[in-house]
Every structure is written in structure tokens, then in C-alpha cells.
Amino acid sequence: MAFYIYHTEQFFQNIIRDSSANIQASLEEKEGSYEKFSISKNSGTRTIYSIKSESKLKKYQKNLLSNFFEYINISDQSYGFVKERSYKDYLQPHINNNLYKDRYYLRLDIKEFFESIKRETIKEELSFYFRLKDSKQTEEILKLVTDIVTLNDSIPQGAVTSPTLSNIIFRELDVKINAYCNQLGVVYTRYADDMLFSSFREHDKFAQPLIKVIYKILKTKGFKLNYKKTIKGKNQISLNGFIVGDNIRLSRKRKKDINNIIFHYYKSGKNIEQFLNSLSEVDLIYRHKNINSLGSLVNYLNGYRAFLIDWIPVNVSNDKISKHSKNIDTIEQIVERLENFKNSIRKLK
């Protein structure tokens, strides 16, 4: 769907919904609109800037997102941060439905994905959607938009607009990469900074030529590959706790988390207080912080239940589907008992 901005009133009244003066005043305090924190990684620490919920800047970002950015087309190959597209959808095109042929997989990682999207790239990409007669006004509004969505000359990971904006910026690259992949007989999908390729051609016949072309295409917009995170696989590949091959299934690490939760539930004799205490000390692989309250435990389990429902295995035996469904039922029982326990505490207060 084409979406264009033809005059300043359209931008300030219908899109950003505030005056230029108020926006400029907010931008003068841009640094203070973000909360800075660090997360540990294998390679050290990484600084994340997250927009504060009470800041005016967040309101402007939300308005830009809902009234402008979400009307701009993105590529069919992009699955991250897209409504009605999931991580499972990102993996689905790579299932090997031909049992008589080997399928070869290649995962490429884009280095410093958000940090690589710079002001000038944003202005260049968004300028297409501005059709104002006055070029000076166009430049002023483009600068304003760029100021709202960037911090320290690039888009911060914790800004409201960054995920969608990254897909807008990457659209042209996705199209070029996919066109080249079609020539090679390679399937291509992307989830944020993860690029996944698969083919019935052996790695030595498609991987190296493909990587060289990808490098050149990414370079046109300032992106680089993180070669250390390159993953190859024959007939299957393991990514973020999931295995893609003749089907999509949970990895052992993902299953270990689920089994840990269920194990501690029964070990505690279904005593909710004991269960809560024991689970807070369990090292769950795909959890980033401790479960330290009843509410956080309920939210965590509800999230896992939704996750399990979405990931009911395909192309597997009935026994495996039955076991998966049983785990969903057990999680539902745990959540129900936790909710009852929470309600009983409220009545005592």
C-alpha cells in the first residue's frame, strides 16, 4: 500500500499529532528519555537503551509507528517484528519435504543490526514517502523524524520504532538477496538479524558464492556479517532452541526447561509455596531473570503454555504429539492451581 505525505499539516496533525515546538523541546532532552542498562553476553557486555514509558518521545515514536511506518510495505522474506508472522513461520519454508534428497542449511548473522542503521540511511529511505512541494520543508520534517527515531546517530534497540523501521530499511536488500537466491535455487528468509538459507545443492556449490554476494549487498546500506556466528547444517540445523529438518521441533535444551518446570511441580508435592521457592532457584536456559513472585511465575507459565500450543510438532508420531499435549495440560493445571492460590491470598488480606 502506497503512503505519502503531501503537506506539513498532514504530518503534524494526522501523524505525529503535536506541534514542531513541542517536539523540539522534547528532543532537547532526548538522552533523558532513555534508560540505559547492560546485559551480559558471551563476548562481554552490551549496552541497551530503552525508551521510558512516561516520556513524550515514546508518544511521538508510537504515533510515527501507527500512523506512518506501519503503512509502508516490507518484504515477504521478513518475519521478525511483523504482525501475524512468527519465528515458526520464519523456519517453515526450510522444512525438507523430500525424503530422497539432502537439504543443506546456512545461517548468517548480521553484525550490530540496529546500530548499523544510521541517520543518513533513514533519511534516504523515508524521503521516497515525502511529496511536499517545498524541498526545505521536506528536509526539516525528515530531520525531525530522524531525530525522533535515533540516538547517537543510529536506531536504539529499545525504541518503539526500531523493529519496524529496520524492516523498512532492509526491504530493498531482502528483495535483492531473494532474487539472487532464486537464481541459485536457494530458499531465503530473515528474522531480524538472522538470515536463513536452504537448498538441495551442497554447501560448496552455493554457500561461498552466496556469502560473497550477501556481503556486497549488505555493504550498500552499511551492514556487515558476523562470520563467527555462521552456522551450517546438513539435513537439519539448530537455531535458538529449535531444530529444522524434515519437521520443526524443540531442541533438547528447550525440552529441558519444560521438563524442569514439571519435575519441580511434582517434586514439591504440588505444594504451591514449595514449588515457587524451588523454581526460583532453577537455572532455566531460556529465561533471562529469576522468577521471584507468584505473578511472575504465572506470567512465565502462561507464556510457555502459549509457546507450546504454537509449537505442536508436525510430521511426527502420534506418541510425540500426545506427550507434547500432555505437557500443555500439565502446565494448564499448574497455572490453575497458582491462580487459585493467588485468589486465596487475596481473600485473607
Identify the CATH number of the domain in which residue 235 sits.
3.30.70.270
List strands edge to edge, sheet with 248-250: 237-239, 242-244, 248-250
The pLDDT of residue 252 is 81
Domain count along the chain: 3
Instruction: Mark residue 195 as left, alpha or beta (left: phi above 0; alpha: psi -120 to 50; beta: remaining).
Output: beta
Looking at this protein, which amino acid is placed at residue 168? I
Q: In angstroms, how far is CA 270 from the centroid of its own chain?
A: 35
Question: Is 286 domain-assigned?
Answer: yes
Question: Is 290 domain-assigned?
Answer: yes
Helix (H, G, I), strand (E, B) or coil at 124: helix
Distance, in Å, from the CA atom of 248 to the CA atom of 233, rounded to the nearest integer, reads 14
Please check whether residues 39 and 184 belong to one and the same domain.
Answer: no
Distance, in Å, from the CA atom of 220 to the CA atom of 145, rounded to the nearest integer, reads 22
Please check whether residues 106 and 126 belong to one and the same domain.
Answer: no
Is pLDDT at 275 greater than 50 in this prediction?
yes
Please check whether residues 63 and 211 belong to one and the same domain.
Answer: no
Question: Is 77 domain-assigned?
Answer: no
Please check whether residues 332 and 263 belong to one and the same domain.
Answer: yes
The pLDDT of residue 258 is 77
Please check whether residues 184 and 208 belong to one and the same domain.
Answer: yes
User: Per this entry, what is the length of the chain?
Assistant: 349
Confidence at 288, pLDDT banded by 50, 70, 90: very low
What the block records as the C-alpha cell of 264 is 519441580
Residue 228 structural domain:
86-116+172-246
Residues 77-133 pLDDT 10s: 999 999 888 888 999 999 998 888 999 999 999 999 999 999 999 999 999 999 999
Please check whether residues 17 and 137 belong to one and the same domain.
Answer: yes
Residues 183-241 pLDDT 10s: 999 999 999 999 999 999 998 888 999 999 999 999 999 999 999 999 999 999 999 87
Is pLDDT at 349 greater than 70 in this prediction?
no
What the block records as the C-alpha cell of 331 is 502446565
Please choose, from the candidates 210, 164, 324, 334, the residue with its C-alpha nearest in 3D space to the C-alpha of residue 266.
334
Residues 220-229 pLDDT 10s: 999 999 999 9
Longest alpha-carbon distance in the chain: 73
The pLDDT of residue 47 is 81
